[in-house]
């Protein structure tokens, strides 16, 4: 199935019309190739979540028949879903990729980071991430962030300059016009690149369906031991849950996002296939983050504040 025949079949009268997925794919591939052409040491942030999996899929397509000219970087919170780590290692082996791992646990063990009282490790990722960027001298870091996720992200550029502290300053962003991306940066600075900026959650799922992309099983309905905390179903595990007053239940659930187990909530669902997931999302009255992320509920500007510190 070539892009050409795919579009011709699907889009009616104008033989040159492109579907929205074809348009988004062409734009994202353009972004990957711009980075390959302009930077010395790019890296793809890879969490094993659907957005980073789609990013990797696009990168593979962008450079065929050559290999992806980027390594992967996984920021490991130490509270990962085992299915996701297994998926990560399988993908790395299958495509002959290089994988860097920045470990939150290492930073806690040697005292550079301290565990938070609430046990959430998501905000702690920033320090190992910036350390990995600095020590590997990465100059472009691909992230799977989408502007539809959150209103601070709606203001994010495709190429987002970060200073030597990794910080984002929304008032000092470069205007971005046409498809002319400015990747110039001083030594020590780096650029975060978001090839999925213009995709929505539904686009990502429709693309996964069209391309037949395999995902970690936790994205599909399965029975799991979970308990209720802050209005979310969290997976019970060694990471620190449940506490004494919290009770474990076995429920049919799935995950809409993949992140740190301590703050990524599951949703009740019987959607076991991609098509069923798409139907479920299309009917959902909750956003992806609203349904599943505890850390964004901390304050009205939680995401903006974390991004200022260097988070994605």
| Selected binder of another protein within 252, 278, 298, 302 (CB under 8 A) | 278
Residue 14 in the binding site for another protein (CB under 8 A): yes
Q: Are 192 and 264 in contact (CB under 8 A)?
A: no
Q: Give how many residues touch another protein by CB under 8 A.
A: 78
Chain CA centroid to CA 169, Å? 21
Between CA 101 and CA 83 the distance in angstroms is 17
Residue 290 in the binding site for another protein (CB under 8 A): yes
Sole residue written with tokens 């860097």: 100
Q: Which of residues 117-136 bind another protein (CB under 8 A)?
A: none
Q: Which of residues 205-224 bind another protein (CB under 8 A)?
A: 206, 209-210
Would you say 210 or 222 has its CB closer to another protein? 210
Would you say 74 or 192 has its CB closer to another protein? 192
Between CA 268 and CA 255 the distance in angstroms is 9
Would you say 27 or 106 has its CB closer to another protein? 27
Residue 41 in the binding site for another protein (CB under 8 A): no
216 class by beta-carbon count within 10 Å (0-12 exposed, 13-18 middle, 19+ buried): buried
Altogether, the residues listed in the chain come to a count of 312
| Selected binder of another protein within 50, 147, 190, 224 (CB under 8 A) | 147
Residue 272 in the binding site for another protein (CB under 8 A): no
204 class by beta-carbon count within 10 Å (0-12 exposed, 13-18 middle, 19+ buried): buried
Nearest of 87, 79, 158 to residue 120 by alpha carbon: 79
Residue 230 in the binding site for another protein (CB under 8 A): no
Task: Give the binding range for another protein (CB under 8 A) out of 9-17, 82-90, 115-123, 246-254.
Answer: 9-17
Tell the smallest beta-carbon distance from residue 241 to another protein (Å).
23
Structure tokens at 233: 């179903």
Tell the smallest beta-carbon distance from residue 87 to another protein (Å).
22
């Amino acid at each position: 199935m070539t892009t050409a025949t795919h579009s011709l079949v699907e889009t009616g009268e104008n033989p040159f019309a492109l579907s929205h997925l074809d348009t988004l794919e062409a734009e994202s591939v353009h972004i990957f190739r711009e980075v390959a052409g302009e930077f010395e040491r790019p890296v793809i942030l890879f969490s094993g979540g659907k957005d980073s999996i789609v990013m990797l899929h696009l990168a593979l397509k962008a450079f065929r028949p050559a290999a992806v000219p980027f390594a992967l970087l996984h920021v490991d919170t130490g509270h990962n879903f085992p299915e996701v780590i297994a998926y990560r290692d399988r993908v790395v082996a299958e495509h002959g990729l290089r994988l860097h791992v920045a470990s939150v646990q290492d930073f806690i063990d040697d005292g550079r980071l301290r565990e938070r009282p609430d046990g959430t490790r998501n905000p702690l990722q920033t320090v190992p991430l910036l350390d990995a960027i600095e020590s590997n001298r990465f100059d472009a870091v691909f992230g799977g962030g989408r502007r539809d996720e959150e209103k601070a992200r709606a203001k994010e550029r495709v190429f987002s300059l970060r200073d030597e502290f990794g910080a984002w300053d929304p008032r000092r962003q470069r205007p971005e016009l046409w498809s002319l991306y400015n990747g110039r940066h001083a030594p020590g600075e780096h650029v975060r690149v978001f090839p999925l900026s213009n995709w929505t959650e539904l686009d990502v799922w429709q693309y996964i369906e069209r391309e037949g992309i395999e995902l970690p099983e936790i994205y599909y309905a399965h029975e799991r031991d979970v308990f209720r905390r802050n209005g979310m179903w969290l997976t019970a595990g060694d990471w620190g849950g449940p506490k004494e007053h919290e009770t474990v239940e076995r429920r049919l659930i799935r995950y809409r996002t993949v992140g740190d187990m301590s703050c990524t909530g599951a949703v009740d669902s019987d959607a076991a296939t991609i098509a069923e997931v798409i139907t479920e999302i299309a009917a959902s009255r909750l956003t992806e983050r609203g349904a599943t992320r505890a850390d964004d509920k901390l304050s009205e500007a939680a995401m903006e504040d974390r991004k200022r510190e260097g988070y994605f």
